[in-house]
Amino acid sequence: MQNMADKLLEEINKKQNPSVVGLDPRINQIPEFITKRNLEAYGNSFKAAANAIIEFNKLIINAISETLPAVKPQIAFYEQYGPEGVRAFKETVDYAKEKGLIVIGDAKRNDIGSTAEAYADGHLGEVKMIEGSMPSLNADLITVNGYLGSDGLMPFIEACKKHGKGIFILNKTSNPSSGELQDKKTEEGKTVYEIMAELIDKLGKDLTGQKGYSPIGAVVGATYPEQAKILRNLMPKTIFLVPGYGAQGGGAEDVVPCFNEDGYGAIVNSSRGIIFAYEKEPYKDKFKPEEFHLASRQAAIDMKKDILDALKKNGKLPEGWNA
Amino acid sequence: MQNMADKLLEEINKKQNPSVVGLDPRINQIPEFITKRNLEAYGNSFKAAANAIIEFNKLIINAISETLPAVKPQIAFYEQYGPEGVRAFKETVDYAKEKGLIVIGDAKRNDIGSTAEAYADGHLGEVKMIEGSMPSLNADLITVNGYLGSDGLMPFIEACKKHGKGIFILNKTSNPSSGELQDKKTEEGKTVYEIMAELIDKLGKDLTGQKGYSPIGAVVGATYPEQAKILRNLMPKTIFLVPGYGAQGGGAEDVVPCFNEDGYGAIVNSSRGIIFAYEKEPYKDKFKPEEFHLASRQAAIDMKKDILDALKKNGKLPEGWNA
């Protein structure tokens, strides 16, 4: 049976594109023609902000759905607006799935026991209703934080098994201070991120699908290519979600170690660099604010080319792909 | 100026009670007289679940607000119901504050840069609107996860400074497998939880208020009293949020090491043991389901007595308190 790793790899292969766009809508970077009409319709309210986000996201999704296998809405940018914001998140997830995209909810959730179960039910599975249960936020995969250890992760893994979903566990994150904890070397000579990698590998081992990958993935920052090399060896069957490309400073060469030799096993994220491309060179001169989604499409195509070129140069372009 | 630690300690002192009730509403444990009427009014919908939760919480809050300094809604149990669930969370936060309670949002949020800022804005500060900004979920404190290091925590700390709020950073958590990562000993001879404690101490050092405590607290499980002793020494100015009492197996003696010698510096949480007391002995025989909130009040009073007795026995009862 196909697991979520198979589904994700199938989409990546179909579009010959191992990248994902982060839908992180910052209200003050959404073009004014959208915010203005929502302001007029709903006043300066959470509803206006939420509707502007939905409108913005839908145009982006329409523009990139043929190029990209997946989108990654970052729930912080929605949740901050309360109930209205979570409605915008939910509508974004539903719309992206309707357009054939895999949806990775970037939630970094973490808790234990029945609380972790509630998160897993809400984001991936089915929530307990007054009578019976039903799906709620219903993403395909979400990111989770493993600081609490395996019993904090098991409820998410159970949801993956039961509902055919997936997770990405934070491992070596892309930010400057990620090493404060994650790089600490233990008595056994392993770093904290290596211990986390062994845990991720162990938790996913028995869940590999038709293509040999587990639905229990890892978040490995593009900003740490040396560590990515080590992690690639520790977790051969794990898909890496790679943030840090673009705005955070990671280049295409930096993401290459995240891929296995056959060119699979990683998906690279860019958020601001794609969705707000219309504000930046070289897109700023070519696209009007009203064409922001076309700028995003062009930026997504350019990102794909950048990554495929680097894979090709390093002998990692997947068989049958064109670059 | 008063910081959030001062405010929390003031409430603890006023009520002579260093405990907090976790509002973790599990829909199938909410008394049927509440779920049934919401089912009849709204069908088997998210709205019915959310309204049942609000009704349940309000009765609990009314019953315990004179006994307790604070409540701790666990957002997982709300968020799982999507927009309606987050509405129930928000209404719970607002109602509890109206009743004079300090509200700790148990969210365990974590991210970096502008994403962490969005969480901090949404939960503690003010969110960017189409024009200007305004408060949104607006808890007094939230829990956060520090796996990403200090630049993942700084946006939350900035919100604490700017808006007079507080956070509790996960340190040594109460669950059985918390040691998989947190207990690993590093080359320098320190465990991961000790390194995290030093970071928490450092981040809060310059923010101490009138009573000598910082608004940057730590989550330390009642199930690990030995580690709590070590952590109490490492973070003398840090308030501990102590889960694990009751349902998770921690007893009153186990929480004593979390308190400083003067009997301050910790707040002990119980969730299921209080809010669903009506289902369990010795309350089950004394209270009908329609009196579930009165059972909760009695359980909260019993918990207070249990903790104060243990503090007294160990010479840690705060000056002027009766036990």
What is the ipTM metric for this complex? 0.97
Provide the pLDDT for residue B248.
80
Q: Could you tell me the sign of the dihedral formed by the alpha carbons of A278, A284, A285, A288, in that order?
A: positive
Chain B's closest residue to A29, CA to CA, is B130
CB contact under 8 A, B39 and A132: no
* pLDDT band (50, 70, 90) for residue A246: confident
Please indicate whether, in this complex, the C-beta atoms of A170 and B148 are within 8 angstroms of each other.
Answer: yes
The confidence score (pLDDT) of residue A78 equals 98
Domain-located, residue A321: no
For residues B146-168, b (16+ Cβ closer than 10 Å) or e, as one string?
bbbbbbbbbbbbebbeebbbbbb
Q: Measured between beta carbons, which residues in chain B are less than 8 angstroms from residue A122?
A: 76, 79-82, 85
Contact B127 A80 (CB under 8 A): yes
Q: How far is B43 from chain A (nearest CA, A)?
A: 9
Q: Are A194 and A118 in contact (CB under 8 A)?
A: no
pLDDT for the residue numbered B57: 98
Report the residue of A54, A89, A115 to disrupt the B interface, i.e. the one with the largest count of B CBs within 10 Å: A115
Cβ of B108 and A145 within 8 Å? yes
Q: Answer yes or no: is pLDDT of A247 > 80.
A: no
Shortest CA gap A188–chain B (Å): 8
Q: What percent of chain A has pLDDT over 90?
A: 98
**Residue A298: count of CB within 10 angstroms of its CB:** 21
Select from B207, B204, B206, B137 the least CA-distant residue to B218: B204
Q: What is the structure's pLDDT at B24?
A: 98
Q: Which of B76, B127, B199 sits opposite A118 (nearest CB)?
A: B76
pLDDT tens track for B130-146:
999 999 999 999 999 99
Q: Which residues of B touch A128 (CB under 8 A)?
A: 26-28
Chosen from A28, A56, A80, A272 to mutate, greatest number of chain B CBs within 10 A:
A80
Catalogue the active-site residues of B: 108
**Can you give the pLDDT at residue B1?**
78
Question: Among B27, B119, B176, whose Cβ lies nearest the Cβ of A129?
Answer: B27
Beta carbons of B38 and A148 less than 8 Å apart:
no
Domain of A13, CATH number, reads 3.20.20.70
Cross-chain Cβ contact A178/B38 below 8 Å:
no
The residue type of A118 is A
How does pLDDT run across B180-210, given as a tens digit for each residue?
999 999 999 999 999 999 999 999 999 999 9
Number of A to B CB contacts under 8 A, please give it. Answer: 234
Q: What is the DSSP string of B118-142?
A: HHHHHHTSEEE-SSSEEE-S--SEE
**Cβ–Cβ gap A44/B131 under 8 Å:** yes
Q: Look at residue B267 in the predicted model and tell me its pLDDT.
A: 98
The domain in which residue B241 lies consists of: 4-313
What letter represents residue A209's amino acid? G
Which residues are paired to B268 by β-bridges?
A: B19, B242
C-alpha span between A237 and A216 (Å, rounded) = 9
Q: Is residue B319 part of a domain?
A: no
Q: Which contiguous run of DSSP H or E holds residue A79?
A: helix A76-79
- Kindly report the pTM of this predicted structure: 0.98
Mean predicted lDDT score pLDDT of chain A: 97
Q: Is residue B322 part of a domain?
A: no
Q: How far is B44 from chain A (nearest CA, A)?
A: 6
Query: Which residues does chain B have within 8 Å of residue A150's beta carbon, measured at their own beta carbons?
Result: 177, 180
B82, B113, B196 member nearest A137 (Cβ): B82
Residue A138 covered by a domain: yes
Closest by alpha carbon to A225, among A250, A261, A260?
A250
Residue A288: other Cβ atoms inside 10 A: 12
Residue B188 within any structural domain of the chain? yes
Q: What is the pLDDT of residue A43?
A: 98
For the stretch A159-207, pLDDT in tens is 999 999 999 999 999 999 999 999 999 999 999 999 999 999 999 999 9
Compute CA B226 distance to the chain's CA centroid, rounded to the nearest angstrom. Answer: 22
Of B26, B49, B195, the CB nearest to A181: B195
Are A182 and A218 spatial neighbours (Cβ–Cβ below 8 Å)?
no
- Residue stretches of chain B with pLDDT short of 70: none
A79:B119 CB<8 A? yes
CB contact under 8 A, B130 and A187: no
| Identity of the residue in B76, B81, B136 whose CB atom sits nearest the CB atom of A81 | B136
Give the mean pLDDT of A50-69: 98
Task: Give A45's contacts in chain B (Cβ within 8 Å).
Answer: 129
Residues 6+ apart with CB under 8 A from B209: B1, B2, B3, B5, B6, B215
pLDDT band at A316 (very low <50, low <70, confident <90, very high): very high
How wide is the angle at C-alpha A155 spanned by C-alphas A213 and B109, nearest 5°?
A: 100
For A282-310, the pLDDT digits (tens) are: 999 999 999 999 999 999 999 999 999 99
Q: Which residues of A are catalytic?
A: 108
Q: Does residue A79 belong to any structural domain of this protein? A: yes
Any domain includes A318: no
In chain B, the number of structural domains is 1
CA A267 to chain B, closest CA, distance in angstroms equals 19
Mean pLDDT over residues A218-222, rounded? Answer: 97
Helix (H, G, I), strand (E, B) or coil at B177: helix
Question: Is there a domain that residue A167 lies in?
Answer: yes
